[in-house]
Amino acid sequence: MIWGRLLAMLLLLGPGVAMACSPRMPWPWKKRSPDGRHELAQVLSRQSRNPGATMSLRDLRTGRLLWTRNLEGTYGPEDVVLASGRPQVLLLGRTPAALTLLDARGWELGIWPLDKLLTPSELRRLSLARCDSEGWAREARSEEDGFSVTLPVRAPVGGGGESRHIVVKLPWVGLFQREPTALAQESAELRRLFRTHTEEAERLRIADELWGLSSGGPTKGNLELRSFWLVMLQDSPSPRALLPIAVDALGASGSQEELRGLIRLPWGAPERDAQILQVLKRRLPDLAGDYALRVLEEGHPAAPVRALAAGELLSRGGAAAEFGKTFIARDASLRADGALARFTAQAELAQELWQALPFCGSSRALLRAQATRSLEALLRDAKEQRPFVQELLRPVSSAPDTALVGCSEVLLMLGALADQTGDAPEALRLYTAGLEALAAETSAARLEAAQGPRLEATLRVAALLKEAREWRKMEALLQELLADPARRNPVCIPKPRVYDFSQTPGACGKKQPAETVARQLLRESKAENLEGRNSEGKR
């Protein structure tokens, strides 16, 4: 019976998900609830005929054993979440992948397989980068009203960046919820929704689902969907985040003639043209070589696309590789040592950035917060490519209606990067833009999460104003901070350590309350101002 149930669930989930997170090697462990009241323990069975484990929950205040249950498999401590203030447990099963909610008696209140929580497209894009060490959930925690699980989902194109996230909430009372809600799975309805929505983030979510429907290959039934992608590619105002998705979807479902039409498109966004090369490599390898030659002969304006084309020719060997070497020798950007690898990495970073950025403009606070986390991670992980990402974001951050307003912490992060390189005017501009965006934020959760960067950025703006000898602006800003309810929060100042990339995460040295730093800056400014006036008087 058990194996029959397991096999059924494996078939439902599909091999890419159900078996993706390998089962944990069994070992005994204990884990306490956030409030320290309950302790969950896994104990291995000593019976050779019935290997496995048992799980038990104990009330540490009374010492009473609340329940014990046999497990069909084993769990790691990262695969369980204990509630705070109540004896409930959430299990995150690996094989099969499912959420199981246990009540105060250890009985199952509900089981939610992943294929019931995610759409087929989302299942295909579920990020499993941390699967072996942390399981398939990015974050699982106990909240006031229930359990919350965040599932990391990749974009249809690009590398491993997790620019889409789904949050599943299992309340103590009521039905489970997910945000954002799952979209319809009928092609015609999704296309109708795409036409009626004006918000780019929502249109991108719809395109993700249409991409999933296109994955079945070229058939007569998806002719209208293929036409939808073709129109998008021929429509010059189409947002650049949508274009590579359209290329990839057409690559899976389009006819050979439709794919040949891709190489005749005029140069467009680098992400789109790079994806055309990837699609042709999968479906029509000979045509990929022709496209790579065109990119190099006509001199595509984007060096990362030229690098991908040169790499394609080199990988073919023979005459194609010789052509590639010739073009590299003629191209000053490509012939430098390590240029191909550097530009290839830049192409992937650009793809990930443009897939995450539209969600900064979402009307949903949750999607804005998750886009912020994605972009912050992108900047942190870029390392030596960080200046390239900064340059990509510079015109975006300068636009009057920039989507980055919805990702205010990213503006503060860019300000800190400019600050660390000594570009005071740029740092002041970005810090100010980020603080203004935070002032307009309506989500209490987002404001709470941004307290540290907000206070540090405010103090750094004050310090930069002091260096520019703009005393009145600086004093007005610091007086506002001294009236702030969060003024006693500790900060990493005078250096902007929240985004100090030379430090390990959380490293700060000795923290001080924000109000202490503010008063010190006010004392220094008064002394310097007085000294400046005295010097002018002597002259």
Summarize pLDDT for 104-143 with one digit per residue, the tens.
999 999 999 988 899 999 988 987 766 766 778 888 999 9
Helices 339-356 and 365-382: angle between axes, nearest 10 degrees: 170
What was the pLDDT predicted at 13? 37
What was the pLDDT predicted at 493? 62
What was the pLDDT predicted at 343? 95
What was the pLDDT predicted at 47? 62
Q: Which of 77, 75, 72, 71 is nearest to 23 (CA)?
A: 75
Taking 60 as the threshold, does the pLDDT of residue 34 lie above it? Answer: yes
**pLDDT > 70 fraction of the chain, expressed in percent and rounded:** 87
**Choice among 74-78, 399-403, 493-497 with the minimum mean pLDDT:** 493-497
**Does residue 425 have a cis bond before it (omega within 30 degrees)?**
no
- Token pair 């599909």 in the structure block, residue: 14
Taking 60 as the threshold, does the pLDDT of residue 261 lie above it? Answer: yes
**Choice among 76-90, 282-296, 509-523 with the minimum mean pLDDT:** 509-523
d(CA 124, CA 16): 7
What was the pLDDT predicted at 273? 96
Taking 60 as the threshold, does the pLDDT of residue 317 lie above it? Answer: yes
What was the pLDDT predicted at 276? 97
What was the pLDDT predicted at 238? 81
- Structure confidence at residue 490 as a pLDDT band (50, 70, 90): confident
Tell me, what DSSP letter sits at residue 10?
A: H
**Choice among 144-153, 325-334, 394-403 with the minimum mean pLDDT:** 394-403
What was the pLDDT predicted at 415? 92
Q: What is the mean pLDDT of residues 206-234?
A: 85
d(CA 176, CA 92): 15
What was the pLDDT predicted at 217? 59
**Choice among 9-23, 309-323, 478-492 with the minimum mean pLDDT:** 9-23
What was the pLDDT predicted at 215? 80
**Choice among 11-15, 120-124, 343-347 with the minimum mean pLDDT:** 11-15
d(CA 73, CA 310): 49
Average pLDDT value over all residues in the chain = 86
What was the pLDDT predicted at 286? 92
Taking 50 as the threshold, does the pLDDT of residue 346 lie above it? Answer: yes
**Choice among 9-23, 61-75, 113-127, 136-150 with the minimum mean pLDDT:** 9-23
Taking 80 as the threshold, does the pLDDT of residue 213 lie above it? Answer: yes
The pLDDT tens digits for 140-194 are: 999 989 999 999 889 999 866 778 889 999 998 878 899 999 998 899 999 999 9
- Structure confidence at residue 235 as a pLDDT band (50, 70, 90): confident
- Which tokens sit at 229? 């992608």
Q: Where are the beta strands (DSSP E) in 136-186?
A: 139-143, 146-153, 164-171, 177-179
**Does residue 395 have a cis bond before it (omega within 30 degrees)?**
no
Taking 60 as the threshold, does the pLDDT of residue 498 lie above it? Answer: no
